[in-house]
Amino acid sequence: MPVKVDMDKIVSLCKRRGFIFPSSEIYGGLASCWDYGPVGVELKRNVKETWWKAIVQDRDDVVGLDTSIMMHPGVWAASGHIDNFTDPLVECKSCHLRWRADAVEGKKCPQCGGELTEPRMFNLMFKTLMGPVEEEASIVYLRPETAQGIFVNFENVVTTSRKKLPLGIAQIGKSFRNEITPGNFIFRTREFEHMEVEYFVKPGTDEKWLDYWIKERFEWYVKLGIRKENLRLRQHGKDELAHYAKDCYDVEYLFPMGWSELEGIANRGDFDLTQHAKYSGKELSYRDAEAGEKYVPYVIEPSAGVDRSVLAFLVDAYDEEEVEGEKRTVLHLHHSLAPIKVAVLPLSRNEKLTPLAKEVFKQLCPNFMTDYDDSQSIGRRYRRQDEIGTPFCVTIDFESLEDKQVTIRERDSLAQIRVPIGELKKVIEAKLKGEAFDASSLWATRRM
């Protein structure tokens, strides 16, 4: 059973191996901002691509969209963000630290025990100025969610995609929230990425579609390797529902700091289209020509955080094992999420091995994200690849020069098979798709 890991170990692995660095680190960092390094960016891209494939490519009822971060200020008045996108803020009268009132138990400052001020509502939207003249009219907001870009394009998408309802519109992009208490590494930051779908349905079918999306989204995490016992669903209480929501469920994950939200799946009713129709003066309804009906669709919204998903995948994949008396840290990442799929490792930097090893690398890298590493001992290089979750390492040794065969080592079982170089691409392709590692064809001789 893999260990439940502390956040410190994840943060340190991420720094050490190039997943995630503190932002502007050489200047001392910037609170709650993080940069994705060479392997982190691959993991994050894989999370987004896997989501996009499941949501857009593999279905005929969802299309994609990519809207601007800055939008007309009227959007945020209509959506309710200017009035309601607030958290209650309290400040300590002694040490002046600020807290989200609902995250503090009792009336004392968690830091110094000082007296707290009465809560005041704090709007989480970042404001900036558009254009060179600093006047009220040019205030714009950085979007706190991607959803509104979808709602205001509803008419454009329905007309141009020629799709009927139910129809989903999906978007991945940056969002910004001036969180009062960011923290827990990339769990809560002020700049993050959303993966959101607005699924437009006929009123009356909304509850059925909410159930459908809850199951669909829960299963997505499980299919990508998150253990079921670390996931749960939680329905929002009536007092907790956002101003737009008719009903809402959170998919929660057992993070190192405890059960916390990974994704929210809400029934937004017809709130958004109705509001935008009212504020923009444009009619936003759907005409079903076949049924001779016209209505304002209801919306089911699965809204996930890319960064929070990255964190959950890292935490769930992390393991420490003992192999031949030595500790091995390994990320058992799902093959489709692993940043590097295959590492090419010549046994040593010997000049006889290098040309063949480079040839193998050239053969593999157009097909898979491939790493080439010939520094340090082979044992240390295996350990590095285990720590970044590389499923397969290909080793080129002196025998390879004679028989034109190489050894593939599998990350989880540590089993090794020997295959002809000409077959390597085909074998790795099959193994990445899930073919059992020891059920290889005739040419593969097992080595342990």
CA distance to 113, 174, 360, per residue, from 411 (Å): 49, 33, 19
Which segment (60-68, 134-142, 302-310, 360-368) binds ligand ATP by CB under 6 A?
A: 302-310
Give min distance, CB of 170 to ligand ATP, in A. Answer: 14
Strands 370-372 and 342-346: parallel
- Strand pairing class (62-64; 167-176): parallel
Q: Which helix (H) or strand (E) holds 47?
A: helix 38-52
Beta bridge partners of 127: 141
| Alpha-carbon 294 to chain mean position | 37
> What character string, x for contact with ligand ATP (CB under 6 A) and - otherwise, covers 221-260?
----------------------------------------
- In whole angstroms, give the CA distance from residue 396 to residue 346: 5
Q: Is 61 left (phi over 0), alpha (psi -120 to 50) or beta?
A: alpha
Q: CA 435, 429, 56 angle in degrees (round to 5)?
A: 95
- The distance of closest approach from Cβ of residue 192 to ligand ATP in the complex, given in angstroms and rounded to an integer, is 4
Provide DSSP, 127-140: EEE-SSS-SGGGEE
Question: Nearest approach, Cβ of 341 to ligand ATP (angstroms)?
Answer: 27
Q: Does 79 bind ligand ATP (CB under 6 A)?
A: no
- Of 130-138, 262-270, 319-327, 375-383, which segment contacts ligand ATP by CB under 6 A? 262-270
Q: Interaction with ligand ATP in 106-145: which residues (CB under 6 A)? A: 145
Identify the residue among 166, 173, 269, 305 touching ligand ATP (CB under 6 A).
305
* 313 touches ligand ATP (CB under 6 A): no
Which residue, 391, 395, 402, is CA-closest to 346? 395
Q: Minimum distance between the CB of residue 177 and ligand ATP, rounded to whole angstroms?
A: 5
Which one, of 26, 22, 48, 50, lies nearest residue 37 by Cα? 22
Q: State the number of binding residues for ligand ATP (CB under 6 A).
A: 16
Which candidate, 262, 269, 263, places its Cα nearest to that of 247? 269
Work out whether 261 is an interface residue with ligand ATP (CB under 6 A). yes
Residue 400 engages ligand ATP in binding (rule: CB under 6 A): no
Residue closer to ligand ATP, measured from CB, 143 or 431? 143
Instruction: Kindly tell me which of 232 and 358 has the beta carbon lying closer to ligand ATP.
Output: 232
Angle between helices 7-17 and 306-317 (to 10 degrees): 100
Contacts with ligand ATP in 317-336 (CB under 6 A)? none
Q: CA-to-CA distance for 387 and 298, rounded, in angstroms? A: 45
Q: Applying CB under 6 A, which of residues 10, 262, 312, 331 lies at the interface with ligand ATP? A: 262
Interior CA angle at 331 toward 325 and 336, to 5°? 145
Q: Give, as ranges, the residues between 156 and 215 that touch ligand ATP (CB under 6 A).
A: 177, 179, 188-189, 192, 194
Token pair in block for residue 409: 């080592």
Nearer of residues 87 and 387 to ligand ATP, judged by Cβ: 87
Pick between residue 194 and residue 334 the one whose CB is nearest to ligand ATP.
194
**Measured from the CB of residue 187, what is the shortest distance to ligand ATP in angstroms?**
6
Find out whether 16 and 39 touch, Cβ atoms under 8 Å. Answer: no
Q: Which is nearer to ligand ATP, 173 or 264 (CB)?
A: 264
Q: Which residues pair with 416 in a beta bridge?
A: 409, 447
307 contacts ligand ATP (rule: CB under 6 A): yes
Nearer to ligand ATP, 257 or 436 (CB): 257
The 56-75 site mask, x for binding ligand ATP (CB under 6 A), equals: --------------------
Q: Is the peptide bond before 166 cis (omega within 30 degrees of 0)?
A: yes
Binding site for ligand ATP (CB under 6 A): 145, 177, 179, 188-189, 192, 194, 261-264, 303-305, 307-308
